[in-house]
Amino acid sequence: MISRKASYDLSARNTFRMKVSCALFIEVTEEKDLQELDWDALPKPVMVIGGGSNLLFTKEYFPGTVLHVAICHSEPSEESVTLGAGTVFDDFCAWAASEGLWGPENLSLIPGEVGASAVQNIGAYGVEAKDIIAGIRAWDLVEKRFTDINPADCEYGYRTSRFKTSWKGRFIITAVTYRLSREPKPVLDYGGIRKALEARGTDCAPENCCRPRHMSGRGPSEMGGTRTEGPRFSGAQSVPLTPQVIRDTIIGIRRKKLPAVEETGSAGSFFCNPVISREHFERIVSTAKADNGPDYEVPHYVVGDMIKVPAAWMIEQCGFKGAKLGGAQVYQNQPLVIVNATGNASAEDILQLERKVIDTISAKYGITLHPEVEHI
């Protein structure tokens, strides 16, 4: 079914809660709807959105068409599941954990929808969407047909893909297939996961990992949006290591650090974490030791021959934690996030705060931060 609404208010369609409207809003619920649209007659440009969780509208009016793909079917099998692009991504994570299937548990509570996960290559706690994407189905606006896309052709990188570069505007994703595993594949050595698991009494040894006995046969679209959480255990008990336990632990970590988008407007992580040379990193270490003392250790992750430095650390070191500019604020609990603190922040408030952060870090560390959030 195709739904059309002219002069549509998008304020509830973007998690930053920017007050913005568009010339035309279209929502489709079936693949065939995309074939039936008169694309030439639509106001231009045409922009596809998911949950609106990675967007910053910089103006109060978008003169084109905003298209939401609300296709929400699910087709589970023994070691994969195919989901409609409009499926809430965290419903998928909740379902996989409830079935005891390994793969997306580290991506729990990331806002947004399935289609956007394949565009953005979302990631958290050592796992990225590309690690579990097995296939993508999309409508090709150039050839006017549906096509199956091999993930190996998507040129996935850190929060990017060809859907954001050379393919931008060509494909509309309608479904994504994810690989799942019955064999335990925990990723624990990132962002304090192992420490948090051990604090709740979980034995992280490989032999303590659980394997699913059987599947329920239902898919994510049949869960009714339920966010399942596992049982609570006292510290005196040994908790088996399951996808559900990891999911619950990550949800706990994220809720302490990140604002709930239904309560505070934001687009999640605002900046990408920079990846720099080892020589550049050593210069940053020297600066940090001069500021914090000779025993200070700079947080970082080794990425091949390069070093990833948390942008949040640099933002905090530059004194921006909790900083405000108009209605915008660097979030107190996680400096990587910029929030619409008052609910009435203007796009200019956010853009000015963004620029101030970028300029200050460039001057201090010689690094230019790049927004993860797409500016429209």
CATH code: domain of residue 22: 3.30.43.10
Reported for 127-131, long-range contacts at CB under 8 A and 24+ positions apart, including other chains, are: 127/187, 128/156, 128/158, 129/156, 130/154, 130/156, 130/161, 131/103
Q: Name the token pair of 354.
A: 């963004």
**What digits encode the pLDDT tens for the residues 60-76?**
999 999 999 999 999 99
Q: What percent of the chain has pLDDT over 70?
A: 92
- Number of structural domains (the chain) is 3
325-333 contact pairs (CB < 8 A, 24+): 325/349, 325/352, 325/353, 325/356, 326/352, 326/353, 328/352, 328/353, 329/353, 330/357, 331/258, 331/259, 331/266, 333/256, 333/257, 333/258, 333/259
In this structure, the answer to whether residues 220 and 278 fall within a common structural domain is: no
Kindly state whether residues 64 and 77 are assigned to the same domain. no
Q: Which of 31, 128, 354, 372 is catalytic?
A: 372
Q: Which residue has the tokens 């910089």?
A: 58
Indicate the residue among 48, 69, 90 that finishes a domain.
69
Assess whether 182 and 326 both reside in one domain.
no
Same domain, 6 and 80: no
**pLDDT tens-place string over residues 130-171:** 999 999 999 999 999 999 999 999 999 988 999 999 999 999
CA nearest 213: which of 248, 186, 235, 240?
240
What is the reported pLDDT for 263? 85
CA dihedral sign of residues 127, 12, 270, 26: positive
The residue among 37, 69, 101 that closes a domain is 69
Asked about 200 being catalytic, the answer comes back as no
Same domain, 29 and 116: no
Nearest to 223 by CA among 76, 28, 12, 103: 76
The position carrying tokens 């700079």 is 298
pTM of the model: 0.85
* pLDDT tens-place string over residues 326-339: 999 999 999 999 99
Q: Which domain holds residue 57?
A: 2-69
Q: How far apart are CA 255 and CA 258, in angstroms?
A: 6
Percent of the residues in the chain that have a pLDDT greater than 90, as a whole number = 78
Query: Region 166-191: what's the mean pLDDT?
Result: 93
CA distances from 282 to 8, 41, 164, 291 (A): 51, 56, 32, 14
117, 161, 266, 269: the active-site residue: 269
pLDDT over 90 (residue 376): yes
Whether residues 46 and 83 fall in one domain: no
Query: CATH no. for residue 311?
Result: 3.90.78.10
| pLDDT band at 215; cut points 50, 70, 90 | low
State both tokens at 75.
């087709």
Decide if pLDDT at 271 tops 70. Answer: yes
* 145 and 211 co-located in one domain: yes
Same domain? For 292 and 344 the reply is yes
Catalytic residue check, 346 = no
Q: Is 211 marked active-site? A: no
Whether pLDDT at 229 is above 60: no
Catalytic residue (one of 137, 159, 247, 254)? 159
253 and 271 inside one domain: no
Q: 183 and 300, same structural domain? A: no
